[in-house]
Structure 1
Amino acid sequence: MAEDKRDISSESEKAVADHTEVTADQHAIAERGHAATDIYGNALIHIDPKAESKLRTKLDLFIVPTVSLLYLFCFIDRANIGNAKIAGFEKDIGLEGYDYNIVLTVFYISYVLFEMPSNILCKWLGPGWVLPALSLGFGIASVAMAYVKNFSQACGVRFVLGAFEAGLMPGIAYYLSRWYRRAELTFRLSLYIVMAPLAGAFGGLLASAILTLDHVADVSSWRMIFLIEGIITCGLSVIAFFTLTDRPETARWLTQEEKDLAIARIKAERVGTTEVLDKMDWKKLLRGISSPVVWATAICYGLNNITVQGLAFFAPTIVRTIYPDKTTVMQQLYTVPPYVVGGFFTLMLPLLSWRFDRRQIFLIATTPLVIIGFSMFLGTDNANARYGACFLLTSSLFAVGPIANSQVSANVVTDTARSSAIGLNVMAGNIGGLISTWSYLPHDGPDYHIGNGLNLAVTCTIFLVTIATLLWMKWDNKRREARHVEEELAGMSEQEIRDLDWKHPAFRWKP
């Protein structure tokens, strides 16, 4: 635990003078109004590694499973329309031409519109209540999809589904940032975002199993996919209302000593911060969405989602063009292995990012295999080669999600700025998702040269932007080294210093 060696109030002034680290009582640090760093960003608290490791394990067991299951069925409820498509969805409700693409687009219109408001609501009311409520909402919407009978009804239900799903991914990322350090966050984000490729694998397996049934209640065929998966989501959401703890202070499963440690270790990484959960104000919200690193990362995440979401919606269709003679159930099953590979790499790359406490270099590393995969799609008609290319795509695509959200979280300071930064990042991702609904068009099949060419171009762009961002961060950090911290902060109030966020002279970008 933290060593009670000296009084914080007197020794903080000494730390300013000689830049030495001061150890402090963790309970005092955990209290509102006490800073955990000096004005240079040096931590004022020493933490016992064994105690921190024990706490981290406890957090992993009590927090990660719930949010992971919620996101698993969030992605399943979003992407199961792709499984329903090859099981007769289009024909039964009379979709023609680009109608299917329009149904997908409507989902992302509401998704983008409600992204930022939903994350601000999450900050305001608390993620412990908002996340289960959102999950229950899109579970009910998924059940409703089982009963749509025409194009208009499908569009209406998908719009509602998008409105509820909009806040879940950024909400979970923001929620986990309340509990985990900068380096730890990347891997914990991957533990729930890995549910995206697993949803592709599990969704394919579940859809193939459901389609072997004659009927469930009064529905049959593809309608059973929406009904059964929606009911499961609703059940998990109700459980989450009781299991999802909002913040360390309210965690009944933590001792007071563990609560203090959980708060103090987060504050120790935030320069100029005296409270982990600050009051929401517009100045800090704007700081979160004005950071150059946040914008660069959001652009890359948006481009990445053109491919990720396109794969989620069209993977069954792509597999059907590769193996047109296989049965519908077999085509569903062929979508599973690439997603399993994707799940492995979605955990491995963030795990390495955590160990090295680096994110930008891993964002760069996600692009080469994807570039090769789409080049193979464009360069050959061989069925086995094209199916092999699917494995190259999934090996890197899904890892961008946890790394990108962790990167924007690491490069702002306050809790409020973090909520808006993550919201902007995920909103950009879903603008990419909106574009993805038009990436694979009927007239472009069966080889989809336009769709594959688009995805090759956006991946090359990500490669260039991530490299340029890394170089800029290093350059700007060197420039910041020449700034005079005491002179710039002289005459500023404590509130004004907190409001500086990433503009604080002692702040450094975390590549």
Structure 2
Amino acid sequence: MATYTEKKGSLEIVDAGTDNGLEKNAQYDQAEVVFDPVAERKLRVKLDWYLMPLVSIVYLLCFIDRSNIGNSRLAGLEKDLGMSGYQYNACLSIFYISYITFEIPLNMVCKWIGPGWFIPICCIGFGICTIGTAFVNDFSQLCALRFLLGIFEAPMLPATVYYLSRWYRRSELTFRLSLFIISASLAGAFGGLLASAILRLPGVGSVHSWKMIFLIEGIVTVVVGIVALGTLTDRPESARWLTEEQKTLANDRVKSERIATTEVVDKFTRAKLKRGLTSPIAITTAMIFLLNNITVQGLAFFLPTIVATIFPKRTVVDQQLLTVPPYALGTVMCLAICFLSYKLDKRGIFLILCAPFSMIGYSMFLATSAAHVRYAATFLPVCGIYAYGAMTTSHVSANLVSDTARSSGIAFTVMLSNFGSLISTWAFLPFDSPVYRIGNGLNLAAQSTMFILALGMYFWIKAENKKRDQRDVQAELAGLSLSEIQDLDWHHPGFRFRN
């Protein structure tokens, strides 16, 4: 047993027994190292202040640059570009074609380059694409830039989750992820506020109206990306703002929770890559995330349109502002749910409990055409859907061991989830207005299926762990080298899945 204690402003290991906890952890899935809570708290505060604000702002801008096309649509984008029929839906789909295609390859590049460099480069890239959208003159040019935007934004969510998993414990990760995942709901709130404010500004040359939305938001994104390029730290070893003792503590905290782990950032092996792609938890969680993204992205792209059909006599600015309150509620609920998850160190139960909010909300959409009831129904789905972004990705991270497996598993989860985003672009069709029975029915079915999948996964984990309790760990590992044991990842007989 080993403990970390704080002495005269520094940290030192105090041996409390003959066994070294990190070495023993190579055979059994339990943390054998006890860390001084005061030292941990000081480290955690530093991590929160140095890492979370910047990654949250970057992801906020990522989601704004993706979804501002919904606000631009209300401001005349389709009319100015001569778009008709299903061209708007097709434009949204093109973004997700590149987004899905480049998800896993670019996250392997992220591991190779390092997320501290890779994330800012992508931020600058999608900011430039957003600026370029302000100068398009027809539908084909818009589609080309949406395709490029999809490439640069593809790795952002999995890369950021993977990045933070290098710094935080499993129990800490969900709440920290929520601090940037809420950017999805904040993007909706700020998107409506920004769009209503920007539309009041005078144009610049040929850039006016909806084009100003893309220009201003794109410039802000590029500036933030440049700042991040010079300030985002790649890993604890390179963090100049940590003491040497804190760097050691940061690494040992992560290693102590991951069976057979001797280094936080491991060497790439195909075996570990495969473990991340074939994990039953990753596959099931990815399906839940896929279904949830039908709802999340559907709101991002079509909530302004839905609100316009509910209140057709309101001005465009008023319609934009009416999209803000649901997103604000979604932000608060996401933080509250993820904070509870952090304190309880549970994710599986919340994956089950979040879906019923949406199930009730979309039932209300389908049951009535009364304007105020339908507007009230927009508040229910947001109570649960945004928490899934943090819950699903942290659930996968908690149930994979190695850095490589987490990188591929998280990327796979987000990649598969974006098929849901692609489906969402065709959920709300012009002929189905104003009730949108197809879109609302699809969301009701998706959320109901999520509930069933999450419930099944919860009880499967309990049953699987009981089976593993009967296995002879030492006998199964006998004769294997440390590298072979590490390649087992979640197949390790001493590993236990987390709910």
Regarding TM over 0.5, the answer is: yes
CA distance in 2, matches of 1:479, 1:197: 40
What amino acid maps onto 1:72 in structure 2?
L
What is residue 56 of structure 2 aligned with on the other side?
68
Question: Would the alpha carbon gap of residues 268 and 152 (structure 1) be closer, same or farther in structure 2, given more than 3 Å must change?
Answer: same
CA distance in 2, matches of 1:429, 1:309: 11
Post-superposition shift, 1:118? 1.2
Does the CA contact (< 8 Å) of 1:36 and 1:267 recur in 2?
no
What is residue 155 of structure 1 aligned with on the other side?
143
Post-superposition shift, 1:217? 4.7
What amino acid maps onto 1:347 in structure 2?
L
Given the alignment of the two structures, is residue 256 of structure 1 paired with residue 241 of structure 2, yes or no? Answer: no
Post-superposition shift, 1:418? 0.2
Given the alignment of the two structures, is residue 399 of structure 1 paired with residue 423 of structure 2, yes or no? Answer: no
What is residue 9 of structure 2 aligned with on the other side?
none
Does the CA contact (< 8 Å) of 1:146 and 1:224 recur in 2?
yes
CA distance in 2, matches of 1:209, 1:351: 33
What is residue 271 of structure 1 aligned with on the other side?
259
Does the CA contact (< 8 Å) of 1:36 and 1:268 recur in 2?
no
Does the CA contact (< 8 Å) of 1:284 and 1:501 recur in 2?
yes
Alignment of 1:429-468 (within 5 A): 429-468=417-456
What amino acid maps onto 1:134 in structure 2?
C
**1:309-334 deviation digits (Å, cap 9, x = unpaired):** 01000000000000000000000000
Q: Which among 304, 314, 328 is matched to residue 326 of structure 1? A: 314
Q: Which moved more, 1:213-222 or 1:145-154?
A: 213-222
What is residue 127 of structure 1 aligned with on the other side?
115
Post-superposition shift, 1:482? 0.3
Q: Which among 96, 110, 123 is matched to residue 98 of structure 2? A: 110
CA distance in 2, matches of 1:36, 1:427: 35
What amino acid maps onto 1:95 in structure 2?
M
CA distance in 2, matches of 1:76, 1:118: 21
What is residue 160 of structure 2 aligned with on the other side?
172
Post-superposition shift, 1:218? 3.6
CA distance in 2, matches of 1:43, 1:64: 26
Post-superposition shift, 1:176? 0.3
Does the CA contact (< 8 Å) of 2:29 and 2:496 recur in 1?
no
CA distance in 1, matches of 2:412, 2:144: 25
For structure 2, the 5+ residue unaligned runs are 6-11
Post-superposition shift, 1:441? 0.6
Does the CA contact (< 8 Å) of 1:373 and 1:389 recur in 2?
yes
What is residue 360 of structure 2 aligned with on the other side?
372
Question: Would the alpha carbon gap of residues 4 and 137 (structure 1) be closer, same or farther in structure 2, given more than 3 Å must change?
Answer: closer
Given the alignment of the two structures, is residue 185 of structure 1 paired with residue 173 of structure 2, yes or no? Answer: yes
CA distance in 2, matches of 1:45, 1:217: 63
CA distance in 2, matches of 1:468, 1:387: 33
CA distance in 1, matches of 2:177, 2:402: 19
Tell me the SS of whatever aligns to 1:397. Answer: coil
Given the alignment of the two structures, is residue 240 of structure 1 paired with residue 220 of structure 2, yes or no? Answer: no
Given the alignment of the two structures, is residue 39 of structure 1 paired with residue 27 of structure 2, yes or no? Answer: yes
**1:14-41 deviation digits (Å, cap 9, x = unpaired):** xxxxxxxx56xxxxx6xxxxx4715122
Given the alignment of the two structures, is residue 223 of structure 1 paired with residue 202 of structure 2, yes or no? Answer: no
Question: Would the alpha carbon gap of residues 255 and 5 (structure 1) be closer, same or farther in structure 2, given more than 3 Å must change?
Answer: closer
Q: Which among 308, 311, 314 is matched to residue 299 of structure 2? A: 311
Tell me the SS of whatever aligns to 2:126. Answer: helix
Does the CA contact (< 8 Å) of 1:73 and 1:199 recur in 2?
yes
Question: Would the alpha carbon gap of residues 4 and 343 (structure 1) be closer, same or farther in structure 2, given more than 3 Å must change?
Answer: closer
Does the CA contact (< 8 Å) of 1:36 and 1:45 recur in 2?
no
CA distance in 1, matches of 2:483, 2:462: 29
**1:319-369 deviation digits (Å, cap 9, x = unpaired):** 000000000000000000000000001111110001000001001111111
CA distance in 2, matches of 1:78, 1:123: 24
Tell me the SS of whatever aligns to 2:380. Answer: helix
Given the alignment of the two structures, is residue 482 of structure 1 paired with residue 470 of structure 2, yes or no? Answer: yes
Q: Which among 196, 205, 209 is matched to residue 197 of structure 2? A: 209
CA distance in 1, matches of 2:388, 2:204: 38
Question: Would the alpha carbon gap of residues 489 and 147 (structure 1) be closer, same or farther in structure 2, given more than 3 Å must change?
Answer: same
Tell me the SS of whatever aligns to 1:215. Answer: coil
Post-superposition shift, 1:42? 3.2
CA distance in 1, matches of 2:390, 2:33: 28
Tell me the SS of whatever aligns to 1:75. Answer: helix
Post-superposition shift, 1:407? 0.1
CA distance in 2, matches of 1:52, 1:102: 49
Alignment of 1:283-432 (within 5 A): 283-432=271-420
CA distance in 2, matches of 1:264, 1:458: 40
Post-superposition shift, 1:111? 0.2
Does the CA contact (< 8 Å) of 1:115 and 1:423 recur in 2?
yes
**1:384-410 deviation digits (Å, cap 9, x = unpaired):** 111111110111111100010000000
TM-score after normalising by structure 2: 0.97
Q: How many residues align?
A: 490
Q: Which moved more, 1:335-344 or 1:281-290?
A: 281-290
Does the CA contact (< 8 Å) of 1:79 and 1:312 recur in 2?
yes
CA distance in 2, matches of 1:186, 1:59: 15
Does the CA contact (< 8 Å) of 1:108 and 1:162 recur in 2?
yes
What amino acid maps onto 1:383 in structure 2?
A
Does the CA contact (< 8 Å) of 2:174 and 2:341 recur in 1?
yes
CA distance in 2, matches of 1:70, 1:124: 21
What amino acid maps onto 2:71 in structure 1?
N
CA distance in 2, matches of 1:131, 1:375: 39
CA distance in 2, matches of 1:7, 1:356: 28
**1:447-506 deviation digits (Å, cap 9, x = unpaired):** 100110000001000000000000100000000000000000001111100000000000
CA distance in 2, matches of 1:39, 1:79: 47
TM-score after normalising by structure 1: 0.94
CA distance in 1, matches of 2:396, 2:14: 35
What is residue 195 of structure 1 aligned with on the other side?
183
CA distance in 2, matches of 1:217, 1:281: 54
**1:104-163 deviation digits (Å, cap 9, x = unpaired):** 000000000010011111111100110000010000000011111111111100000000
Tell me the SS of whatever aligns to 1:191. Answer: helix
CA distance in 1, matches of 2:280, 2:353: 21
**1:70-126 deviation digits (Å, cap 9, x = unpaired):** 000100000000000011000110111000000000000000001001111111110
Identity, in percent, stands at: 55
CA distance in 2, matches of 1:5, 1:395: 46
Post-superposition shift, 1:169? 0.8
CA distance in 1, matches of 2:463, 2:433: 46
CA distance in 2, matches of 1:54, 1:374: 44
Given the alignment of the two structures, is residue 504 of structure 1 paired with residue 492 of structure 2, yes or no? Answer: yes
CA distance in 1, matches of 2:272, 2:208: 51
Post-superposition shift, 1:256? 0.2
Does the CA contact (< 8 Å) of 1:38 and 1:44 recur in 2?
no
Q: Which among 5, 24, 41 is matched to residue 53 of structure 1? A: 41
